[in-house]
Amino acid sequence: MYNLTQITENLCYLGANDRRIALFESAFPVPRGVSYNSYLLTDEKTVLFDTVDSAVADRFFENLEEALGGRPLDYVVVHHMEPDHSASFLRLIEKYPAVTVVTSQKTAKMLENYFPFSGKNVTVVKEGDTMSVGKRSICFVSAPMVHWPEVIMSYIPEEGVLFSADAFGTFGALGGSIFADEVFFERDFLDDARRYYFNIVGKYGIQVQNVLKKAAGLDIRLICPLHGPVWRKDIGWFLGKYDTWSKYLPEEKGAVVFYASVYEHTQNAAEIVATELAKAGVPVKVYDVSHTHVSNLLSEAFRYSHLVFCSTTYNNGVFISMENFIADLKAHFFQNRSYALVENGSWSPQAGALMEAEFSAMKNMKKVGETVTVLSSVKADSREALKALAAAVAADLS
């Protein structure tokens, strides 16, 4: 049965939630599920903004039929071709064969690649194009690599509505209210929004900055993303988060100690550093990189200003989980942070030098203190070195 929320008199939310999904994009755990958002504008013409993932397609089609109220569907705007939004496209075309598809040139080609789709009834739009649908018009904004190359956003100037595609989305299913101002967003969604941003579009900070510059010229009163809550209040606060994130700047001053430990000794070293940081008044967190999903590690690394990486040496390299984490940081253009290093090894410790080679190749990374070497287990001298390292990090933070 349909389950709709009216956003404005003429704009309806048609999306639905998937709480059974384990891994979004087969990569990112989503224990709180995810929403797939879709919207219908009813003016002199009816305009659907995106479809949904196949997991929630049945509910979506019931919602669409109810929201149309017997009217034909005139347009479907395809902002983004990734199947979490386009998987229901062919079913839509079969159900509403007269609909005109409005999309970018790149998406038009992708539709033919993904589906047995003839490409008829397609109107290609580009940056700056405007389409009247009655009392309202729809302006199109190019947003390449946010988060695929074909992405467009659209904007209804008469009502200040931005359909932002993946941007301003978040992991986490919606429950009851679809509006960010009706949930405790900072408490319940911000961590997932940050993790979503850095893992999904974090690599494309320059492109996100380009979109934010375009957005600055618009009177945005409503943001309708493809995942997570709809924004109609405090929009500037969330735009500010995106500005900080896409500039690769720390969101908070504080330290995170990441460790990879096999027999607890490297963990012991990491926790001595963390304890000394806390004693110095530094906000600090500790993560075992072998036990926390790398998507969370990535998000936390981008959140804070100072990072301490502690790894045992393994097969003459950095321990597997730490090596994987650092590779993920590198893939997402990690930069602009201070870092400190602790290595462990029983006969040939070299994880420190190998980690330093990775971090020193990243942009604007500042090493704090000397790499502390632990030989098998922490002794009195290495304990003092760990305390000195924590003091150096605390001093750098002050």
Per CB under 6 A, residues contacting ligand FEO are: 80, 82, 84-85, 147, 166, 226-227
Question: Min. distance of Cβ 105 from ligand FEO in angstroms?
Answer: 18
Question: Min. distance of Cβ 226 from ligand FEO in angstroms?
Answer: 5
* DSSP state, residue 154: E
Distance CA 20, CA 31 (A): 9
Contact in structure between 147 and 200 (CB atoms under 8 Å): yes
Question: Min. distance of Cβ 151 from ligand FEO in angstroms?
Answer: 8
Question: Min. distance of Cβ 51 from ligand FEO in angstroms?
Answer: 12
Q: Which residue, 45 or 80, is less far from ligand FEO as judged by CB? A: 80
Query: What is the separation of C-alpha 7 from the centre of its chain, rounded to a whole number of angstroms?
Result: 24
Single-letter residue type at 319: F
Q: Which residue, 85 or 265, is less far from ligand FEO as judged by CB? A: 85
β-bridge partners, 255: 284, 306
Q: CB-based burial of residue 210 (10 Å sphere; 0-12 exposed, 13-18 middle, 19+ buried)?
A: middle
Q: Which residue, 134 or 149, is less far from ligand FEO as judged by CB? A: 149
Question: Min. distance of Cβ 307 from ligand FEO in angstroms?
Answer: 28
- Greatest Cα pair distance, the chain, in angstroms, is 78
Distance CA 192, CA 171 (A): 5
Question: Min. distance of Cβ 223 from ligand FEO in angstroms?
Answer: 15
- Which residue number has the CB closest to ligand FEO? 82
* DSSP state, residue 119: -
Q: Which residue, 59 or 136, is less far from ligand FEO as judged by CB? A: 59
Q: Which residue, 189 or 359, is less far from ligand FEO as judged by CB? A: 189
Distance CA 393, CA 398 (A): 9
Element (H, E) at 327: helix 320-331
Q: Which residue, 226 or 257, is less far from ligand FEO as judged by CB? A: 226
